Chains A and B, each alone.
Chain A
Amino acid sequence: MSERLTKSAARNIFFGGTIFFFVIFVALVAQSVNYAIVNGAVPSESAAHGKRIWERHACFDCHTLFGEGARFAPELGQVWLRYGGADDPDGARDRLKDWIKAQPSRVEGRHQMPHFDLSDKDLDDLVDFLRYTSGINTQNWPPKAKG
């Protein structure tokens, strides 16, 4: 390395630069937090509770949500729309709940989803959560609607 860069200069650049970039980062995150508070507002208590169901059963350890999580099972950010929630909310809700209740399929060679003991209210709340996520503006991701 160049002899012109002394150790104390390297140290000062490190600390100064780190503080500089961290301050910019925090400022941008603060701006995004304000954006998120408006654009990601939770519509109902039930959707918030549905998110807790999602977390307590580690759904993300098989599925992705906005592409994040495990890749063992389909993306669920827009599953509400795939099930026709935009035109037929009651039908979509029933179809999603029936799907969850019918697992595991035990079809040989097909990825298996465990059976979860969820009350009807829990299932409704989970569906409310997935309905909420389908309304988030994800910059047009995913590229194709099928998950």
Chain B
Amino acid sequence: MKYESQKVAKLYFIGAMTLFALQIVFGLLGAVLYVNPTGLPDFLPFSVVRMIHTNALVVWLLMGFFGATYFLLPEETESELYSPFLAKLQFWLFFGAAGAAVVGYLFGYYDGRSYLEQPLIIKLGIVVVALMFLFNCSMTLLRGRKTVISNILLLGLWGVALFFLFSFYLPANVILDKMFWWWVVHLWVEGVWEVVMASILAFLVIKLTGVDREIVEKWLYVIIGLALFTGILGTGHHYYWIGTPGYWQWIGSVFSALEVAPFFAMVIFCFMMVWRGGRDHPNKAALLWTLGCAVTAFFGAGVWGFLHTLAPINYYSHGTQVTAAHGHLAFYGAYAMINLAMITYAMPQLFNRAPYNQLLNMWSFWITTSGVAFMTFTLTFAGIVQTHLQGMLGMSYMEVQDQLGLFYWMRLGAGGVTAAGVVLFILSILLPMGASTASSSARPRPAE
């Protein structure tokens, strides 16, 4: 860490981990309601539990992206941030808005659409936060060195803000409503978020492997090209059954089937660069998360997405737990893990305690990833049974739910394992575990 202003990232990473913990707590509560529907008090119905679970997820991922940007931008642009003060102010405004939203949800203050339940005032606050962030970063970029990574990262983040504006459009026409809801949700997670993710991945790969920047940047263009060429028209896979014309079944099937390509390219890219790179970076845990991110994103977003994206299959699987299975592994692999990789890489530097004991962090990687993977398997089986009984045999929703109890119990167990892994992760980052082991101190220092 060379620049003083990079330190604001610490605030964002701690905020992100706090909301990550909140997300997991409410995920567990939701899983409890699936196995014991009368088990929680009336002020915690499934709807409120789910909205806190999903909103906390989205906000901690965004907070992680903000932190990652503030951390890498000074190194990329070779200049201090335009205004560290504005960055801190932005954090507290965002964190305060998130806290207010959660408390409001518990008292019934919500309005809108799935994932976008924030009351209007909170949505406006999010826009202000985004503008503060983009102003600060764009000014930093304008006066510093312009690398491909920083340019593409900022391009993606501007896109994130731009597409969020569609959350304000709430037409009474239910077809239009659904079409443009996806302009936020799909064009985020299967569009501009992938651009952000690939940029952070490229930064980590340069730092961890020492491979020449020229090669990494070329790969970055190829990956984000594949992501957007397939992802933009891939939006069509959400336009099958919502009242839109039938041609979307062809467009959505063809292009979203190809959405696996950028994730496959990320796996090849990461492993090739590690294989080629000569650097023996001491932060092995960060490398583990980086490689794990590419692999898990490939399975979660790529393979599990492809599983139910073709229109003739989706006709039966749509609206079942198959979607939930895909959602969990995709979000974890692509977006949670890229943030956890960045946090693992940056936090020892921000705390000025590198190299540190990474054993606990690596354990948290395997435990959390196994937990989410098993959760995905149980939900996939539940979804396939549900698809068969409901979509093929025509049983009613409630009758089918009675058949899925075993899967929901196993999902709750997997959630418990995931939660244990997350606790270990947070401890491994925050606890002062210095270079107590011989293995970490014996390794050579990195070149930068």
Tell me if A29 is interfacial: C-beta within 8 Å of chain B.
Answer: yes
How many positions in chain A have a CB within 8 Å of any CB in the partner chain? 73
> Are the C-beta atoms of B397 and A35 separated by less than 8 Å?
no
Contacts of A48 in B (CB 8 A): 172
A31 to B172, CA, bound (A): 19
B13 CB to nearest A CB, Å: 29
Q: Decide if B324 touches A71 in the complex (CB within 8 Å).
A: yes
CB distance from B223 to the nearest CB of A (A): 9
CB distance from B17 to the nearest CB of A (A): 25
Given A33-B176, A72-B33, A137-B243, A13 contacting B38 (CB threshold 8 A): no
Cβ contacts under 8 Å, A108 to chain B: 38
Given contact pairs A24-B233, A61-B114, A71 touches B178 in the complex (Cβ within 8 A): no
**B239 engages A32 (CB within 8 Å):** yes
Task: Tell me, yes or no, whether A124 is within 8 Å of chain B by CB.
Answer: no
- Which residues of B are found within 8 Å of A41, using beta-carbon distances? 173
A47 close to B (CB within 8 Å): yes
Could you say which of B174, B240, B245, B316 has the most chain A C-beta atoms within 10 Å of its C-beta?
B174
A10-B222, A74-B396, A143-B392 given; A66·B241 CB < 8 A: yes
Q: Shortest CB–CB separation between residue A54 and chain B, in angstroms? A: 9
Question: Which residues of chain B are within 8 angstroms of A60 by Cβ–Cβ distance?
Answer: 113-114
* Residue in A7, A37, A56, A66 whose CB lies within 8 Å of B217: A7
Query: Does B242 lie within 8 Å of A138, measured CB to CB?
Result: yes
What A residues does B251 contact at CB under 8 A? 28
Instruction: Say yes or no: is A70 at the interface (Cβ < 8 Å to chain B).
Output: yes
Cβ B243 vs Cβ A66 within 8 A: yes
Chain B residues whose CB sits within 8 angstroms of the CB of A74 once the complex forms: 396-398
Identify A61's interface contact among B48, B219, B229, B232, CB under 8 A: B48
Distance from A41 Cβ to chain B, minimum over Cβ atoms (Å): 7
Per the bound structure, the CA–CA distance linking A71 and B392 in Å amounts to: 18
**Residues of chain B with a CB closer than 8 A to A7's CB:** 148, 214, 217-218, 221
Instruction: Kindly state whether residue A97 has any CB partner on chain B within 8 Å.
Output: no
Is the CB–CB distance between B179 and A71 below 8 Å?
no
A6, A35, A55, A142: the one contacting B111 at CB < 8 Å is A55
Tell me which of A22, A37, A104 contacts B173 (CB under 8 A). Answer: A37
B10 interface residue per 8 A CB criterion = no
A 89-141 contacts with B by CB, 8 A: 104, 106-115, 132-133, 136-139, 141
Chain A residues within an 8 Å CB radius of B51: 58, 61
B140 within 8 A of A: no
- Residues of chain A with a CB closer than 8 A to B148's CB: 7, 11
Q: A33-B179, A39-B175, A61-B114 are in contact. Are A141 and B225 (CB under 8 A)?
A: no
Contact B243 A36 (CB under 8 A): yes
- B96 close to chain A: CB less than 8 A: no
Q: Does B47 contact A (CB under 8 A)?
A: yes
Asked whether any CB of chain A lies closer than 8 Å to the CB of B444, the reply is: no
Residues from chain B with Cβ under 8 Å of A14 in the complex: 221-222, 224-225, 228
Contact B315 A141, beta carbon cutoff 8 Å: yes
Contacts of B224 in A (CB 8 A): 14
Contacts of A106 in B (CB 8 A): 38
Say which residue of B46, B110, B228, B323 sits within 8 Å of A72 (CB atoms): B46
- Chain A min CB distance to B46 (Å): 5
Cα A113 to Cα B219 with chains together (Å):
50
- Is B280 close to A, CB under 8 A? no
Instruction: State which of B36, B113, B174, B393 has its C-beta within 8 Å of the C-beta of A133.
Output: B174
Interface string of A21-57 (1 = CB under 8 A from B): 1101100110111011101111000011001000111
With A66-B243, A68-B319, A146-B396 as contacts: A25 and B232 at CB distance below 8 Å = yes
Q: How near does chain B come to A77, taking the closest CB pair, in angstroms?
A: 9
Closest to A66 in B: B242
Is A67 engaged at the interface, CB distance under 8 Å to the other chain? yes
CA distance A68 to B175 in the complex (A): 12
A132 near B174 (CB under 8 angstroms)?
yes
Q: How far is the CA of A10 from the CA of B181 in the complex (A)?
A: 32
Chain A residues with CB under 8 A of B324: 71
Known: A60-B113, A73-B46, A143-B316. 20 other contacts (CB 8 A): A7-B218, A10-B221, A14-B222, A22-B232, A28-B247, A29-B179, A31-B245, A32-B179, A32-B248, A33-B176, A58-B110, A64-B319, A67-B319, A110-B37, A139-B246, A139-B249, A141-B241, A143-B391, A144-B393, A144-B394
- Name 26 interchain pairs, CB-CB below 8 A, sorted by A: A5-B218, A7-B218, A11-B221, A14-B225, A21-B233, A31-B245, A32-B248, A36-B173, A36-B244, A51-B174, A56-B110, A58-B110, A61-B46, A61-B51, A67-B242, A68-B181, A68-B242, A70-B47, A74-B397, A75-B319, A112-B37, A114-B42, A133-B174, A138-B241, A139-B246, A141-B315
